[in-house]
Amino acid sequence: MAGAAAAIRGGYANLTPNLRGALWMLASAVTFTVMTTLIKYLGADYPAALQTFYRQAAGFLILLPVIVRHRGAAFATTRPWILIFRSSAGTIGLILSFYAYQKMPLADANALSFTRTLWLVPLAAFVVREHVGPMRIGAAVVGFFGVLLMVRPGAGGHFAVTGPALAMLASSFLFALTVTGMKVMTRDHSPMVLLVWAASLGLLFSLPGAVLAWHWPSGRDLVLLAAMGAIGTLNQWTYIKGMQIGDAAAMAPIDYTRLVMAVGAGFLLFHELPGVWTLAGAGVVVGSTLFITWREHLAATREAAATSLPA
């Protein structure tokens, strides 16, 4: 057994960084699909606010040993208000996304969740003050056209934007805000400090909604809720690990495998089939976000090359 584990570690070490990152991104897609499947399965008895509390509680318990070991250093910050805003936006975003996953087909909800990258374009310009060129703006506009395709159902030809679809779009915007806040804070804060603040405040901010919707789960449901929360934390870690090891431009396409997995899980477990408008709109959104990711990769590569040139 030890020899097999050593052989696996040796084979992993011999892979290129992008291949290692791809494995983590696939693990992220699998864990994400399992988490959203549990969210939908438990949604009939446990509202989104209550599920969010269990998700945050699991994340806090996982990080509790780090918090106890490092105490003050785990919360060391010079800008607590940004962290408070980031955690509140993230908690509301989680509640809205959980509601959407409960009420929408898994494929539809997953497709709309990819609009997070599109929201980052205007936020990068207005919040982080990044230069946003016409190509990125054009790709974002095309991507939002894809969103209109997805939320335009019905043979009657009218727009019928549902509450869950709006919830997922709002959730994607709020998650984009948290990503923007992370970009600002990582300039002088470690990722662990950001995780500890997010887990601690997320648990606190999710408590009021959980109290209003509270009912005691059965033993079986408690296990499933705890598993959903733990898998959600694992999903976050595998995603960060994949992006950290591999190039963002190479990792982004692999993240979209969760859309394929969502179609499969929705069909096998909930007898859901994505409609033509969903597939068409998802294709437009995926294409535009991949283009934005590739443009950002090229810009970062050019910047790195310029800074490495001798003065």
Contact between residue 88 and residue 197 where contact means Cβ atoms under 8 Å apart: no
Distances (CA, A) of 194 to 31, 77, 135, 182, 207: 22, 9, 32, 8, 20
Model confidence, pTM: 0.83
Tokens 């990711």 locate to: 293
The CB density around residue 126, as the number of other CB atoms within 10 Å, is 11
Domain limits, the chain = 26-129+163-244+258-272
Divide the 311 residues of the chain into consecutive groups of 10 and give the mean pLDDT of each group.
59 77 90 95 92 92 89 86 92 96 91 84 73 77 82 49 88 89 77 85 94 91 92 86 77 82 92 84 85 74 65 51
Tokens 């591999």 locate to: 246
